[in-house]
Amino acid sequence: MSTPATGHVDVAIVGGGMVGASCALALAGSGRRVALIESVPLESGRQPSFDERTTALGNASRRIFEALGVWPQMQPEAQAITSIHISEAGHFGVARLDASEQGIEAFGYVVPNRTIGTALWRALEQRKDLLLRVPAQVREIRIAPEAVHIALESAACGPETIRAHLVVGADGAQSLVRAASGIEAGTCDYGQVAVVTSVASDQPHRGRAFERFTAAGPIALLPLAHERLAVVWARAPEAAQALLEAGEPEFLRELQQAFGWRAGRFSAPGHRGAYPLALTRAAATVAPRTVLIGNAAQALHPVAGQGFNLGLRDAAMLAELVTGQRGDAGDAALLARFGEVRGGDRAGVTRFTDSLVKLFGDRRPGLALLRNLGLLAFDLSPTAKRELARVSAGFAGPVPRLARGLGLSKP
Ligand SMILES: Cc1cc2nc3c(=O)[nH]c(=O)nc-3n(C[C@H](O)[C@H](O)[C@H](O)COP(=O)(O)OP(=O)(O)OC[C@H]3O[C@@H](n4cnc5c(N)ncnc54)[C@H](O)[C@@H]3O)c2cc1C
pLDDT at 385 over 60: yes
Average pLDDT (49-62) is: 94
Question: Cα–Cα distance between 303 and 211 in angstroms, integer?
Answer: 8
Residues flanking ligand 1, CB < 6 Å: 14-20, 37-40, 48-49, 53, 55-56, 138, 170-172, 176, 194, 196, 232, 275, 294-295, 302, 305-309, 311
Give the number of other Cβ atoms within 10 Å of residue 213's Cβ: 25
Q: Nearest C-alpha to atom 29 of ligand 1 is from which residue?
A: 49
pLDDT at 396: 66
Residue nearest to atom 18 of ligand 1 (CA): 308
Q: Which of 38, 248, 219, 244 is nearest to 125 (CA)?
A: 38
Report if residue 247 sits inside a domain: no
Q: How far is CA 408 from CA 72, 370, 404, in A?
A: 20, 46, 11
- Give percent above pLDDT 70 in the chain: 90
Centre of ligand 1 to C-alpha 20, Å, is 9
Reported as a pLDDT band with limits 50, 70 and 90, residue 262 is very high
Against a cut of 0.75, is the pTM above it?
yes
pLDDT for the residue numbered 89:
73
What number is the average pLDDT over the span 329-356?
93
Query: Average pLDDT over the chain, rounded to whole?
Result: 91
Q: How far apart are CA 393 and CA 389, in angstroms?
A: 6
Residues 6+ apart with CB under 8 A from 308: 18, 19, 55, 57, 61, 294
Mean pLDDT, residues 341-353: 91
For residue 228, tell me if it sits in a domain: no
Helix (H, G, I), strand (E, B) or coil at 7: strand
Question: Is the model more confident about 39 or about 358?
Answer: 39
Q: How far apart are CA 320 and CA 338, in angstroms?
A: 10
152 in a structural domain: yes
In three-state secondary structure terms, 384 is: helix
Least confident of 23-32, 98-107, 129-138, 220-229: 98-107
Domain for residue 383, yes or no? yes
Cβ neighbors of 316 (< 8 A, separation 6 or more) are 22, 26, 64, 400, 401, 402, 403
pLDDT tops 60 at residue 5: no
| Torsion from C-alpha of 158, 164, 169, 174, nearest 10 degrees | 50
- For residue 18, the model assigns a pLDDT of 98
Statement: residue 374 has pLDDT above 80: no
> Which pLDDT score, from 0 to 100, does residue 386 have?
74
Q: Is residue 249 part of a domain?
A: no
Cα(93)–Cα(374) distance, integer angstroms: 8
Lowest-confidence range among 1-15, 28-42, 108-122, 244-258?
Answer: 1-15
Q: What was the pLDDT predicted at 185?
A: 98
> Using an 8 Å Cβ cutoff, are 234 and 303 in contact?
yes
* Rounded distance between C-alpha atoms, residue 1 and residue 151, angstroms: 8
Residue closest via CA to ligand 1's atom 37 equals: 171
Closest atom of ligand 1 to 196 CA is 1
Residue 370, pLDDT score: 64
Q: Indicate whether 360 belongs to any domain.
A: yes
Residue 58 alpha carbon, nearest atom of ligand 1? 11
Query: Hey, what's the torsion of the CAs at 30, 34, 40, 45, to 10 degrees?
Result: 20
pLDDT of residue 354: 87
Whether 175 shows a pLDDT value over 90: the answer reads yes
Give the SS3 label for residue 265: coil
Domain enclosing residue 148, as ranges? 5-187+278-404
Mean pLDDT (whole number) for 299-327: 94
Structurally, the chain folds into a number of domains equal to 1
Q: How far apart are CA 148 and CA 171, in angstroms?
A: 16
> Which has the minimum average pLDDT: 87-96, 109-118, 162-171, 350-359?
87-96
Atom of ligand 1 nearest to the CA of 299: 19
Q: Please report the atom of ligand 1 found closest to the CA of residue 310.
A: 11
Q: Is residue 17 part of a domain?
A: yes
Of all protein residues, the one whose alpha carbon is nearest to atom 49 of ligand 1 is 17
For residue 328, the model assigns a pLDDT of 97
Supply the CATH number for residue 183's domain: 3.50.50.60
